Amino acid sequence: MEVEEETEKWRKKLESLKIVALTEEGKWMLENIEAYLSDSKYFKGLRAFEAVIWAWAFFEIGLELGHLKAEKKY
């Protein structure tokens, strides 16, 4: 699969979630998730994919540490 397709696939998965910050650290993490998702739309190729990966990293770490919670939007 091409990097652009992978980027779009993972971006859509993350955007399909309603993410809620449970702590102050969670607010900071959510801001970073949103910023990296925005960057992934601006950049192309590998840089866009890297931005999505960073967004996912903040998301998964936030969940693991109890700073974020998520549920499906639709």
Distance CA 44, CA 39 (A): 9
pLDDT per residue rounded down to tens, the chain (74 residues): 699 999 999 999 999 999 999 999 999 999 999 999 999 999 999 999 999 999 999 999 999 999 999 998 76
Q: What's residue 74's pLDDT?
A: 64
- Per-residue tokens: 53: 């990966």
- Provide the whole-model pTM: 0.90
* Domains annotated on the chain, with CATH: 3-72 (1.20.1270.90)
Distance CA 24, CA 22 (A): 7
Q: What's residue 73's pLDDT?
A: 78
